[in-house]
Amino acid sequence: MKKFFILLVALGVPVIGICGSTPAYTENITAENGSNFLILAAADSDADSKETIVAEDDFTDDELLFLDEDEEFLDVYDPLEPINRGIFWFNDKLYFYLLKPVAKGYRWVMPEPLMLGIGNFFSNLASPMRMINAGLQGKFGDAGNELTRFAVNTTIGIGGFFDTAKDHFNLKKKDEDSGQTLGYYGIGPGPYLVLPFFGPSSFRDGVGLLADSRMDLTYYLWEDRDYWAAIALRTVNTVALDKDTYEGIKRDALDPYLFIRDAWTQYRKNLVDN
Amino acid sequence: MFKQLFLTLFAGMLLAMTSVAIAGASPTDSIRGSVDSILALLQDKEMDKTIRREKIGEVISERFDFRAMSQRTLATNWKSASKEQQQEFVQLFSKLIENTYIGRVEAYTDEKVDYPGEKVKGKKAVVETLILTASADIPVNYKVYKKNDKWWVYDVIIEGISLISNYRSSYQEIVKKEGFDGLIAKMKAKIKELENQPQPA
């Protein structure tokens, strides 16, 4: 799933918008008082195997409420849903009719180690972005870790093609970005936003995305058409390495738009909280 | 006489030991047992796909508490539903969860799974697992609770995304727009669609 999200926010995009401070999620700890009954104990002669999981000494509904203690449930703020759904539809077509076929051909000609190397290469170029954002959040240990990773991978890892820092020094990448930094300083995500080409985001994370692109060395290594070619390569490479995450969601979810919106919101909240 | 007494004592001791062993199965051991069985089934390339899915389904239903999951997914809508509706929901929901879960693990058949740790808090615990893939490590945490001396999964958290929280939010919105019957109809249609569709390789 992460790879999918990385793909969708892989690049920076100019977003005109003001960061809303409205919380896109609210704490909603429900503690309902239901009546006591054993739901599946109802007489059912042709009970199938599923129902055998309900034993006589099962917890009742009320007793199961302890599972909800210390839980936060999301309530996503999505006032732009009609527009978002339109853009979601556009991105979906873009994915299936352009990105996916290209990625399939790409995967067919490219050996996997080479694809992993290209992924590492672009990830290494984004290292300063992670370092700056870790620093801005006062995580100086993480910032130092990222600096070491960048130094090691750029030199021993041959320009970032190998993640030597992870493979040989156990220095693992920790995802940081400007959206998380804004969140760290108490700025809520604001309304949920689906960006054309870039996928799920929020007002806050959209602004973050723009800032991120300016801290990414990719932006300074190439200009104009070359820059977008590099971005296209990075995107196709990510899709080629992905194990059909989006297809899985499309296949399984009752409403893929809602599933991705809620998953994205949780994913971002979790990153900000850590 | 003495021998008989000794044997009885010995048998009693054995019995006591086994029940302690069962009660003492840690949350991680329980999850590891299920995950290993599923991986073994997935790696058996000879097996017929339908039979494999069925067997994986059995392992899952022995570990996932679909009723607790259903209740937590529906939240207030669970209370207002009739017993028949609840029962129907549990059946449909377990099929969908199974499908989603199997679909995801099938993509990671050849990866290694690590168990970095567990957190136990009374009758609840979180078992941390890490799927090690070539390009990234994917954290998958299982929330379990103890019922009849057995640890049951009531939520799966992938990359910080709680499956139940996700379903809860989506399903509540569908109920709000289309009613409970609308949700059930959507679930039935989805299951039919999944059954008619050839499984991805």
Instruction: Extract the runs of DSSP E, i.e. beta strands, from B44-191.
Output: 112-121, 124-132, 137-147, 150-158, 161-162
Residues B66, A263: C-beta atoms closer than 8 Å: no
| Whether A258 contacts chain B with CB within 8 A | yes
Q: Which of A32, A68, A73 is most worth mutating to test chain B (most B CB atoms within 10 A of its CB)?
A: A73
Is the Cβ of A42 closer than 8 Å to some Cβ of chain B? yes
CA angle B15, B17, B20 (to 5 degrees): 110
Q: Does A104 touch chain B (CB under 8 A)?
A: no
pLDDT of residue A4: 42
- Higher-pLDDT residue of B157, A20: B157
Size of chain A in residues: 274
Q: Which two tokens stand for residue B7?
A: 């044997």
* Residue A24 pLDDT: 39
A114 vs A52, which has greater pLDDT? A114
Residue A89 distance to chain B (closest CA, Å):
18
| pLDDT tens-digit series, residues A90-147 | 999 999 999 999 999 999 999 999 999 999 999 999 999 999 999 999 999 999 999 9
Mean of all residue pLDDT scores within chain B: 83
Q: What is the ipTM of this complex?
A: 0.79
In this predicted structure, the answer to whether residue B190 has a pLDDT above a threshold of 60 is yes
Model pTM score: 0.78
CB contact at 8 A, A114 and A158: no
Q: Which residues of A touch B158 (CB under 8 A)?
A: 1
Token pair, residue A12, equals: 């920076």
Compute the distance between CA of residue B124 and CA of residue A70 in angstroms, rounded to an integer: 11
Confidence of residue A26 (pLDDT cuts 50, 70, 90): very low
**If pLDDT is split at 50, 70 and 90, which confidence band does A74 have?**
confident
User: CB B96 to CB A59 under 8 A?
Assistant: no
pLDDT of residue A60: 66
What does the pLDDT read at residue B123?
Answer: 87
Are the Cβ atoms of A74 and B165 closer than 8 angstroms?
yes
pLDDT tens-digit map of B73-128: 998 888 888 889 999 999 999 999 888 888 777 777 777 889 998 998 888 999 99
H helix and E strand count, chain B = 7, 5
A30 three-state secondary structure = coil
